[in-house]
Structure 1
Amino acid sequence: MSGNDFIALSPLLLLTGSSVLIMLLIALKLSHRNIQLSSLLLFILAFFSLFYEPDVSPHHIEPLLVVDRFAVFIMGLIIFSGLVVNILSYIYFEEKEEGPKEYYVLLFLCTLGACVLATSKHFISLFLGLEILTVGLYALIAYLKARHHNIEAGIKYLVLAAFSSAFLLFGMALIYLQTGSMEFSIIGRSLHSLPSLPPLFLTGLGMMLVGVGFKLAVVPFHMWTADVYQGAPTPVTSFIATVSKGGVIAVLLRFFIVIDGFRFSPLMLMLMSIAIASMIVGNLLALQQKNVKRILAYSSIAHLGYLLVALIPGSVMSIQAVSFYLAAYFITILTAFGIMTILSTKENDAEDIESYKALFWKHPLLACIFSAALLSLAGIPLTAGFVGKFFILAASLQAGFWMIAFVLVIGSVIGLYYYLRIISKMFSGRGGVPRKEQRSHPVFYLVSVIVLSLLTLFIIWFGVYPSGLIYFVDYFRLNM
């Protein structure tokens, strides 16, 4: 390998080495606090290693990986999300009965898997990255083994992830049978002269979409989402909602652009059907919930539908819209689940909507932060979520996809109800949530609140002045 190869792979190498180093520190029987601080420093180091990537991108590590500006952007979002989850995890796990040290090893491995997905240009690296991500998630979801909901959620995710991997592998095999290659670019060249997709290739691609659909939790592959979101520890839920979805969306977008899949109408029809069903079903199911985790779980189905709306046109603007919306969604969902993490107690997570009654009168700052995150998810003006949805609408209308744009607007209107229901609960009455005692670790509590406050500032800043993020997204966009 050349020096440039090592520079290009430095984030992946650092994440791999970090997981090994944390295992060695655990063997030395260091305390939870030392393990957490060490992992935090390693996440920061991995994040800052990305600043050297543009000097060598686009850089191909044949035949599996490519490190270009888009990969650097997605890896930045993934590692940043892992860093925030790491910070929030201390106050959540410190009071729990299980020893949380091994948790940080799994966190590094799952982040590594998502980063491999972001740089994949081959079916082998795609599958390896996906399995590194999902195998770590099995353990993370069921980490609090004393709670039966966690074990149930972990088993459900294990069974369905294995089921979806089988579909994914069989679809890859059919595409390999048709094209003779598993590399995206060679597959694209084999399809270049064809006016339509061969039946064998279309069948394989359909099976791959089933596998990817399970990972993204889009309709009709969404049945596991609410149970896993509710059963997993709250920091792990935020990790699933951001990191695992971001890596899969990145590799899906790269694959469709390389093979120029946007010119095949049967494929676009499949994606449009999934997007419309996800936006409608996700929002309607969220209306019926009284558990905040389940509300956010079903709303995530709708948000993945919005991302598919942005992906379908296949234009330069649609690529920018996907990147912008991913950034806004990551920041927003980390903020929302961060508040739930801080308010959780040793016995229970803060997931019942009634537990947020009169939160403003007990924790005014936390209530305002949570409200800003929910308003951004709803797409209210002056938030990053609004600009992201506007960007998606502009991309879809520019390409003439009026129907899916109309469904997006209707879905956003429906979603406004259940987001405002949580907000109204926080500002109503004067009873409700008792103040959580933080005497055992006030510094980590303060750091967590500061991080969430900074994320809230980003939500508002990108909603009021989106030009900076738009320029950033355009610089790091995926070339067509």
Structure 2
Amino acid sequence: MTADDLLALLPILVHGGLCIVTMLAIAVRRHHATIAVLAAVSCLLTLASLPVAAAAAPHAVTALVMIDGYALLYMGLLLAATLVVIALSYGYLQLHFEAHEEFEEFYLLVLLATFGGLVLVSARHFVSLFLGLELIGVSLYSLIGYLRIRRGPLEAALKYLLLSASASAFLLFGMALMYFQTGTMAFGRMGGALGGEAPALWLAGFVLALVGLGFKLGLVPFHLWIPDVYQGAPAPITAYVATVSKGAVFALLLRFVGDVQALQHGALGALFGLLAAASMIAGNVLALLQHNVKRLLAYSSIAHLGYLLVALLAGGSLALEAVTFYLIAYFIMTLGAFGIVAILSREDRDADMLEDYRGLFWSRPWLAGTLTLMLLSLAGIPVTVGFVGKFYAITAGLDARLWFLVLLLVANSAIGVYYYLRLIVAMVEQPVWIAGRPASQLEMETGWTTVLSLGLMVSLLLWLGLYPEPMIDFIRTMVGPLASPVAAIPS
């Protein structure tokens, strides 16, 4: 390891070291507020190390990891989202645990999952890919089932365990076939070894690996247990799974597809198109049938992954920009929506039914207004970041002449407006009364960290919806040099 290697790896090293510090702090003294603050400071310090690492970027650290603008941008996105999840989790955990329960390890598991995400977004080799993916997965098993006093989280954790095991099996088998065909596990070298034509064995391996990643992303038809996981997991962890976990995997998929030049093979392009169409249609149609808000948002996320695949299929620099901007928009909208779910949750269960939101406007107008903005943005209404993200995806699709997929994207966005509006209408209806108070008032007290987080999400949603040019320019600068020469990858 050289000094440049250590400098490039600084965010990963800092975050890994702070995970150890957090673990030792828990062993020395258990105190909820102290460990929560330490977890938040860990993310902030890692964020502060990103500009330092940028001085050495782009830099390949062995054949396993590439630290470039693309990796650093996604590291910043994952760390910022983790900060929001930590802020949402503090009050939620205090509400859902008895005084004798211990929940400091919750924050350690969140940090470890984010550590896996940092490895994943910088991976350029199957070994680092698998290590990052398993770090996220193993941490999430425990986080999803952390509320062991309730049946729902335990069932969701078991289903996620089986889902992740299936994903790993497909992924490993696909990796073995691709390695057998090309003799390398480095993405860039694999693309160079294939040349312009991919043998059937390598294509079979790629499809199996894509199935494994499809399970993690919840793409149709690998989505069947994803709504169950969303429904059963604690609300802050549902937000984490929907954003940090999926965002890291999609960032890895985008780099992998580009490095091996998968879209140059017509069969793989058709497969991605089929997955995009199926995810958009099934996600939106099934969301129409939901009365559970967390399941509704789960099917909505499946549809949004389909929109992202349309942008990915466009290929080239415009696709990179469109996918990255859309993911940033998706993070903002999803964290904001699940943040409201976490605030409205009660001791015995999460606020995941439509009735829990009936009349919210009359009891807590600022919460209703925040959720309304998030839902309108998810629907792609103008003046929100969601509209700009969908416009960017449509532009990338039109530029690549993906006429059919673009038409599907527009049509499914129109379908999505209905179920988002159904929740908005419920919030302005007359409230349901329980014990002399509106049901929507029976939530926990809103702490200042939660208010700050939601305020930041609303500000970003409107700012990037009205004035997205600075963010677009920043994204263009960071992801532009993604396609680095294969020769730069050390053996």
Instruction: Give the TM-score band, short-chain normalised.
Output: over 0.9
Q: Is the 8 A contact 1:262 1:313 kept in 2?
A: no
Q: How many residues align?
A: 474
Q: Is the 8 A contact 1:124 1:182 kept in 2?
A: yes
Q: Secondary structure at the match of 1:312?
A: helix
Return closer, same or farther for 1:231/1:437 CA change in 2, 3 Å cut-off: closer
- Superposition map of 1:59-208 within 5 A: 59-97=59-97, 98-192=101-195, 194=196, 196-208=197-209
Q: How far, CA to CA, are the matches of 1:14 and 1:38 in structure 2?
A: 13
Q: Secondary structure at the match of 1:60?
A: strand
Are 1:433 and 2:439 matched, yes or no?
yes
Which stretch of the first structure deviates more once superposed, 180-189 or 94-103? 94-103
Overall identity of the aligned pairs, in %: 46
Structure 2: any 5+ residue segments left out of the alignment? Answer: 433-437, 484-491
Q: Is the 8 A contact 2:153 2:233 kept in 1?
A: yes
Cα RMSD of the aligned pairs, angstroms, is: 1.2
Choose which of 433, 452, 469 in structure 1 pairs with 2:454. Answer: 452
Q: How far, CA to CA, are the matches of 1:117 and 1:457 in structure 2?
A: 29
Aligned-pair CA distance for 1:82: 0.6
Aligned-pair CA distance for 1:95: 2.2
- Superposition map of 1:205-224 within 5 A: 205-224=206-225
Q: Is the 8 A contact 1:22 1:35 kept in 2?
A: yes
Q: How far, CA to CA, are the matches of 1:113 and 1:227 in structure 2?
A: 24
Aligned-pair CA distance for 1:184: 0.7
CA deviation map 1:173-230 (0-9, x unaligned): 00001000000111011112x3x32100010001001101000000000001110000
Q: How far, CA to CA, are the matches of 1:438 and 1:113 in structure 2?
A: 32
Q: Is the 8 A contact 1:96 1:346 kept in 2?
A: yes
Q: How far, CA to CA, are the matches of 2:369 and 2:158 in structure 1?
A: 36
Aligned-pair CA distance for 1:7: 2.1
Q: Is the 8 A contact 1:166 1:211 kept in 2?
A: yes
Q: Secondary structure at the match of 1:56?
A: coil
CA deviation map 1:392-422 (0-9, x unaligned): 0000111110000000011101111111111
Q: How far, CA to CA, are the matches of 2:140 and 2:351 in structure 1?
A: 22
Q: 2:435 aligns to what?
A: none
Q: How far, CA to CA, are the matches of 1:472 and 1:106 in structure 2?
A: 31
Aligned-pair CA distance for 1:299: 0.6
Q: Secondary structure at the match of 1:349?
A: coil
The normalised TM-score by structure 2 is 0.95
Q: How far, CA to CA, are the matches of 1:430 and 1:229 in structure 2?
A: 26
Q: Is the 8 A contact 1:78 1:114 kept in 2?
A: yes
Q: 1:339 aligns to what?
A: 340
Q: 1:56 aligns to what?
A: 56
Q: How far, CA to CA, are the matches of 2:117 and 2:443 in structure 1?
A: 35
CA deviation map 1:204-263 (0-9, x unaligned): 001001101000000000001110000000000000000111111111111111122221
Q: How far, CA to CA, are the matches of 2:167 and 2:440 in structure 1?
A: 42
Query: Which residue identity does 1:426 align to in structure 2?
Result: M
Q: How far, CA to CA, are the matches of 1:436 and 1:40 in structure 2?
A: 28
Return closer, same or farther for 1:17/1:436 CA change in 2, 3 Å cut-off: farther
Q: Is the 8 A contact 1:111 1:133 kept in 2?
A: yes
Q: Is the 8 A contact 1:274 1:305 kept in 2?
A: yes
Q: How far, CA to CA, are the matches of 1:77 and 1:305 in structure 2?
A: 21
Q: Is the 8 A contact 2:344 2:440 kept in 1?
A: no
Query: Which residue identity does 1:374 align to in structure 2?
Result: L
Q: 1:462 aligns to what?
A: 464
Aligned-pair CA distance for 1:4: 2.2
Aligned-pair CA distance for 1:436: 4.3
Q: How far, CA to CA, are the matches of 1:349 and 1:167 in structure 2?
A: 33
Query: Which residue identity does 2:91 align to in structure 1?
Result: I
Q: Which runs of 4+ in 1 moved over 6 A?
A: none
Q: Is the 8 A contact 2:358 2:440 kept in 1?
A: no
- Superposition map of 1:183-332 within 5 A: 183-192=186-195, 194=196, 196-332=197-333
Q: How far, CA to CA, are the matches of 1:372 and 1:417 in structure 2?
A: 15
Aligned-pair CA distance for 1:46: 1.0
Q: Is the 8 A contact 1:325 1:388 kept in 2?
A: yes
Q: Secondary structure at the match of 2:77?
A: helix
Q: How far, CA to CA, are the matches of 1:362 and 1:9 in structure 2?
A: 49
Query: Which residue identity does 1:446 align to in structure 2?
Result: W
Q: Is the 8 A contact 1:362 1:433 kept in 2?
A: no
Q: How far, CA to CA, are the matches of 2:378 and 2:171 in structure 1?
A: 31
Query: Which residue identity does 1:161 align to in structure 2?
Result: S
Query: Which residue identity does 2:115 align to in structure 1?
Result: L
Q: How far, CA to CA, are the matches of 1:419 and 1:402 in structure 2?
A: 26
